[in-house]
Structure 1
Amino acid sequence: MMWSTIQSWFAPKPKISGDDEALIERLVDIAHPHIRLARNYQSRLVSYIGWAHAHATALATQLPDPIALTVENWRENRTLQLLFATPDRMSEIVGGDTELQTWFATWPLSDIAYVGLIADANEKTRYGMCEIDGQIRQDVPQKLLIFANHRIGIPAESPDALVQLGALRILDTVANQAQLAIAAIENKKKQIDDELINARTMLRMHGNTPSAAQTAQKERIKTLTTELQSIHEMLNPEAMCELLITELAATPDIVQLHIHSCNVDRMGVVDGEDSDNQIIELPELILQRETPIEKLILLVSVPRTLMQPPAKNTQFPDQAIF
C-alpha cells in the first residue's frame, strides 16, 4: 500500500485541458469546495467527469428536436395545445420570461432563442360524458393529462448549443447529489455534537459519585465520540472527492430519460373515443431519489416576435404632484 502511494507521487499526471479544468471546478464548487484540498483532485476527477459528460451529452441528444413556439404551430401541435390553452397564454408564459427578455436584449441580431421548457405532467381521473350503447352517460371515468408549473431554462443561440447546455445541467444535477449527501453528513455531525454537549452536561450534573446514571452517560459519550470520529473521516476532503467520483460513476442511474407515447384529444382526455385524438411523445427526465422526481422536458425555439415588453415596476414618485 505504501509502495503504491509512493509510486503515485512520481507517476506522470494526465494532462488536463482548459475546458476539462473549468468543468471540474464547476462541479467541485457545487459538490463542496473543500474537495480542492484532496490530493491531485483534478487528476482523479478528470476521467470520471469526461465519462459522465459523454453520457450526459448522449442523453441530451436523445431529446426530440426543438418545437417552434408560433401561432401556426400551436394550431397543429397537440403538445403545445395542452401546454398552453391559447396562443396568448403561450406568449404570456414564455414571452414574459425575464431571462429570455434579457437574452434578446443582449443579442439584438438574433431572432430566435432555443430553450428547455420544463413542466409537471400528471394524469388525473375525472368523470366525464360519453356515449355508451347509444346512451349518454355522465359518470364515465376518464384519464386527463394536465401540465402545470411551467419553467423556462437558460437560453442558447442554437440547437447544438442547447444540447451542450443541457449536458452541463445534467452534470450539475449529479454534482448536486454529492452536495446533498455531504450536507446530510454535516447535519449528522451537528446532531452528534449537540448530543455530546448534552451528555457531558448530564455527566457533570451527576457529580463525582459513581452511579448507574453516571456510567450510562459515560457509555453514551464513548459511543457518540466513536460516531463523531467516523463522521470526521467521511468529511475528510479525500473522502468527499471519492463521494463525488461515486456519483459521477452513477450518472446513468441518477438521471434517466424516458420518452413515452400518449393518445390524447384536444381537451387532454387520454385514450378517449374522440376522433380528434392525436399521439404525442412526452420526454421525461427522471431524477432517481428515494422518491423519484419526474419532469416533462421539451426543447423549444422562441421567436423574438413572441416576446412581450418587459414589465415596468410601478412605484410612487418621490413627490406628489397635484
Structure 2
Amino acid sequence: MFGWLAHWLYGTGKRPDPAVLDKIVDRTDPRLRLLSGYERALGKGAGTSLAFCAALGGRLGEPLPLSLRSFTTDRRLGLFFSSPASLLSALEHSGSLSDFFSSPSLGDEAHALLLMQRTEKQRFGREERNGEVVNDVAQTVVSFDRHRIVLASPSRDALLAALPGRGLEVLLAVASRHLANEGRVKTELESELMHIDMKLATLAHPANSITQGLPSGCRPLPDSRHALEVLRRDTQKRLTLIKRMTELPGVLQTVRHILEHPDDYFRLRPARLALDRMGVLQPDGAEGSDITRIDLEEVMLGHGEPFCRAVVPVTITRSALLELRQGFGGEAALSS
C-alpha cells in the first residue's frame, strides 16, 4: 500500500537494497552518509545502474572453452594467448577461478568472463598479392594482453545473474576515479593560483622577490600584470567551480549523475575482427584458410578518453586445467 511512497522517494516500485546503497557510498565517498537524504538521492540511480548492467548479459556470445585441446583446434586461442603456458598463467592467477575450484560443491566446470586489452600497432611487412610477394606493405597487428578471468560461476545462468553486481562494481570504480580526478584538478588549480599571487606580489615589490622558491614543475607565467590578472580571474573561476563539485553536495550530485546515466560511462560495443595467423588485421570480406574471424564485445569505461577491455565468455573444466598444469607446470592449488 506504500508503493506510491517508494516510487516517489526512489523512482522505482521498491526501496533499493540497503546493502547496495552501502556499497555505493563505501566505494565513492563514505562521507556522503553525513548528508540528509542521500539514500533518496542515490536510490533511483542504483536501480537504473543495476538494470543496465543486467541487460549487458544478453550481449554475450557462446562461451569459448579454455583447454589444451581447444588451443590446438580453435585458432582464436592462439591469437588471444601466445602459448598454452600463457593461458595456464592467466588461469593460475585468477582468484575467482581458484575460489571456484576450491569448492567441490560448485562442480567441475566454471563459466567465466575473459577480459583482455586489445592493442593495435602499425608496421610495414610483406604481403602476397596475386601470387607475388610485396614488401613494405602497411599493416595493423592486433594483440591481446593483460588477461584476467573473473566471475567464475557454476553455470551460464549463474554467470549472468552475477553480472549486475560486477557491473555495478566496475561503474563505481569509474565514479571513484572521476572523483579522484576532480580532487587532483582542484589541488592543481589551488597551486597555480598561489603561484600567480606570488608573481603578482613580486611585480608589485621587485625588491622582495618570492618567486625563486617556486617548484621547477610550475608552468611559466606571463610577465605582464595585465596578463597575470586575466589568468588569475580565469583560474579563480575554474577553482570556484571545481570546489563546488568536490564539496559533499557536489560529490553526491556527481555520483547520482553517473548512476542515473550509466551508458555515458560504461558502454558495451561489438567488435568483429578478421586476423591472419600472425595477428595482422585483414579487410572486411577477406577470405582464406589462414584467416580467423573473431567476434567479441568491448567494454568502454569512463568519459572522454575511455578505458577499453575486450570481453569473451569462457568455460574451463577441472580436468582441462589439470592437463594444462601437467604439460606446462603451475600451481597445484586449483586441482584439489
Bigger Rg, structure 1 or 2: 1
What is the identity, as a one-letter code, of the residue corresponding to 1:34? R
8 Å CA contact retained: 1:36, 1:237: no
2: distance between equivalents of 1:302 and 1:67?
9
Q: Does 2:295 match 1:299? A: no
8 Å CA contact retained: 2:124, 2:139: yes
2: distance between equivalents of 1:197 and 1:134?
68
Distance change in 2, residues 1:54/1:261 (3 Å): same
Q: Which residue of structure 2 lines up, in the alignment, with residue 184 of structure 1?
A: 181
2: distance between equivalents of 1:142 and 1:52?
40
Q: Does 2:38 match 1:41? A: yes
Q: Which residue of structure 2 lines up, in the alignment, with residue 97 of structure 1?
A: 93
Q: Does 2:147 match 1:150? A: yes
Count how many residue pairs are aligned between Structure 1 and Structure 2. 296
8 Å CA contact retained: 1:98, 1:310: no
1: distance between equivalents of 2:141 and 2:74?
18
What is the identity, as a one-letter code, of the residue corresponding to 1:157? P
1:227-238 aligned at under 5 Å gives the runs: 233-238=244-249
1: distance between equivalents of 2:268 and 2:149?
19
Query: SS in structure 1 opposite 2:153?
Result: coil
1: distance between equivalents of 2:173 and 2:88?
32
Of residues 254, 258, 262, the one that matches 1:247 is 258
Q: Does 2:129 match 1:108? A: no
Displacement of 1:52 in angstroms is 1.6
Q: Does 2:22 match 1:25? A: yes
Distance change in 2, residues 1:269/1:58 (3 Å): same
2: distance between equivalents of 1:64 and 1:77?
16
2: distance between equivalents of 1:171 and 1:28?
12
2: distance between equivalents of 1:22 and 1:249?
18
Displacement of 1:273 in angstroms is 5.8
Distance change in 2, residues 1:181/1:82 (3 Å): closer
What is the identity, as a one-letter code, of the residue corresponding to 2:268? L
2: distance between equivalents of 1:223 and 1:297?
43
Displacement of 1:195 in angstroms is 6.7
Displacement of 1:124 in angstroms is 2.9
Query: SS in structure 2 opposite 1:168?
Result: helix
Deviations 1:41-92 (A, max 9, x none): 1122112211121111112331213222123333333321211244343223
1: distance between equivalents of 2:302 and 2:30?
24
8 Å CA contact retained: 2:16, 2:47: no
Displacement of 1:254 in angstroms is 1.3
Q: Which residue of structure 2 lines up, in the alignment, with residue 276 of structure 1?
A: 290
Q: Which residue of structure 2 lines up, in the alignment, with residue 140 of structure 1?
A: 137
TM-score, with length taken from structure 1: 0.74
1:283-294 aligned at under 5 Å gives the runs: 283-294=297-308
Percent identical pairs in the alignment equals: 25
Query: Does 292-301 or 145-154 show the bigger shift?
Result: 145-154
1:66-81 aligned at under 5 Å gives the runs: 66-81=63-78
Q: Does 2:52 match 1:55? A: yes
1: distance between equivalents of 2:31 and 2:99?
34
Q: Does 2:269 match 1:258? A: yes
2: distance between equivalents of 1:258 and 1:123?
17
Displacement of 1:193 in angstroms is 5.7
Deviations 1:78-114 (A, max 9, x none): 32121124434322332x2251463145312421222
Query: SS in structure 2 opposite 1:155?
Result: strand
Displacement of 1:282 in angstroms is 2.5
Query: SS in structure 2 opposite 1:269?
Result: coil
8 Å CA contact retained: 1:79, 1:280: yes
8 Å CA contact retained: 2:15, 2:43: no
2: distance between equivalents of 1:114 and 1:158?
6
2: distance between equivalents of 1:125 and 1:232?
43
2: distance between equivalents of 1:136 and 1:102?
48
2: distance between equivalents of 1:223 and 1:125?
41
Q: What's the Cα RMSD here?
A: 3.9
Query: Does 269-278 or 38-47 show the bigger shift?
Result: 269-278
